[in-house]
Each structure stands twice: as C-alpha cells, then as structure tokens.
Structure 1
Amino acid sequence: MKLTISLDLLEEAFYYVSPTKPVSAVPLVYLTLAVEKAQIAYTTDNEAKLARKIERSFKAAFHEILQANQVYRSELDQDKLLTPQDHLKKQGQVVDSIVAAIKKYPELSLIRVELAGSWPLYQTQEGHLDLTE
C-alpha cells in the first residue's frame, strides 16, 4: 500500500493526504511511503495514517528534516531575495535531507518525493511580499 504525507516546512507540520493531494499556495513536499497493512492505522473518519510506532519514527525523521533546513525555511518565511541558482541548490538540499533522514529509519520505505505548491525560483525586489501592507 502507498501512503502520501504532506510536509509543510514553514508551519512545521505534516498531514496525511492519501489518496488525493491538495493544491497549495505554500511550498509543500509530498512524501510517498510504501507501507504494509500492519504499519497502517485508521482515523475515526476511516482515513489511513501511520500506526503509532511507525509515526514516532516519522516524527523523529521530520524533526531532523526541519533542523537540516532551518536556514532555508527562515529565508522562505521572510521572503528573502535569493538568486534562482540559490533556490534550486537549497531545494535540492531539502530533497537530499529528506531522503537521508527517512533512510535512517528502516521501517520507513520512501518511494517518492515531490515539491508542490508555491516554491520560489525567481523573484525581484518588485516581487517581494511586503507583509506590512
């Protein structure tokens, strides 16, 4: 079975999104895991989620991902101007840190990573989001 989890790095939260992935205006990362029936639990709404023991491992990996990308998360949150090369490099580092963190937990079988939502690639001063307006 496959289970997809959405990581919101700016809000430091994750959500189960299987089977449909919502469209988002914020930068998200979708992780798809291959899971066995014993690794799945269900909510009261009959939606799949990781079983408690497996979810603890995932939360530990998620914490590592947040720590590894703290600088870039801060830059995204502050809408800092970066070159396209810097954004692409840092987004590559986000993916690499996710893969590395998940691989530390053999009970988590990562099969796909997707960047979704509004990841900046090119921005000028005129495109800067002024949150004081």
Structure 2
Amino acid sequence: MKLTISLDILEEAFYYVSPMKPVSTVPLIYATFLAEKGQVAYTTENEAKFTRKIERTFKTAFHEIVQANQKYQEILDQDKLLSLQEHSTLQGQLINSVIDTIQKYPELQLIRVELTGSWPVYQTEAGHLDLSE
C-alpha cells in the first residue's frame, strides 16, 4: 500500500493525505511511502495511517528534518528576499535532507518526494508579501 504524508516545515506538523493530495497555498512536501499491511492502521473514518510504532519512527525523522532545516524554515516564515540560486540551493538541501533522514530508518520505505504549494523561487522587493494586509 502507498501512504502519502504532507510535511509542513513552517508549522512543524505533518498530515496523512492519501489517497487525495490537496492543493495548498503554503509550501508543503509530500512524502510517499510503501507500507506493508502490518505497518498500516485505520482511523475511525477508515483512513489509512501508520501504526503507532511506525508513526513514532516517522515523528523522530520529521523532527530531525525540521531541526536540520531551521535556517530555511525561518527564511520562508519571514518571507526573506533571496536570489533564485539561494532558493534553489536551499530547496535542494531540504529535499536531500528529507530523503537522507528518512532513509536512515529502514522501516520507512520512501518511494517519492514532491514539493507542492507556494514555494518561493524568484521574488523582488515589489513582490514581497505584506502579511499585514
């Protein structure tokens, strides 16, 4: 079974999104896993999720990802201006961090990583978001 989790590094939260992946206005990472029957549990609404043991492992990995990308998290949260190259470099480091961290845990079989939502790539001062409006 494939199980997709949405990672929100700004809110330091994750959500199960299988099988429907909603479109988001915030930057999210979708991580899709191949899970065996014994690794999957179901909510009262019959939605698939990791069993408690596997979810604890995932939470540990997610915490490591958030900690390793604290600098980029702050840049995104404060909507700081960066060059195209800086954004591309930091996004590449974030993706590598997600993959490398999750792969340290053999019970988590990562098969796909996607960026979705509103990821900044190019922005000038005129394109700066005014969150007070």
| TM-score, normalised relative to structure 1 | 0.98
2:74 aligned counterpart, secondary structure: helix
Q: Match of 2:3?
A: 3
Q: Match of 2:92?
A: 92
1:102 equivalenced with 2:122 (yes/no) = no
Equivalences for residues 1-133 of structure 1 within 5 A: 1-133=1-133
Looking at structure 2, the residues matched to 37 and 88 of structure 1 have their Cα atoms a distance apart, in angstroms, of: 37
Gaps in structure 1 of 5+ consecutive residues: none
Give aligned pairs, total: 133
| TM-score, normalised relative to structure 2 | 0.98
State the Cα distance separating 1:132 from its structure 2 match: 3.0
Looking at structure 2, the residues matched to 63 and 132 of structure 1 have their Cα atoms a distance apart, in angstroms, of: 30
Q: Percent identity?
A: 70
Looking at structure 1, the residues matched to 42 and 79 of structure 2 have their Cα atoms a distance apart, in angstroms, of: 37
CA offset digits 1:52-101 (Å, max 9, x no partner): 00000000000000001100000000000000110010000011000111
State the Cα distance separating 1:131 from its structure 2 match: 2.2
Looking at structure 2, the residues matched to 132 and 18 of structure 1 have their Cα atoms a distance apart, in angstroms, of: 34
State the Cα distance separating 1:104 from its structure 2 match: 1.1
Gaps in structure 2 of 5+ consecutive residues: none
Looking at structure 1, the residues matched to 132 and 51 of structure 2 have their Cα atoms a distance apart, in angstroms, of: 43
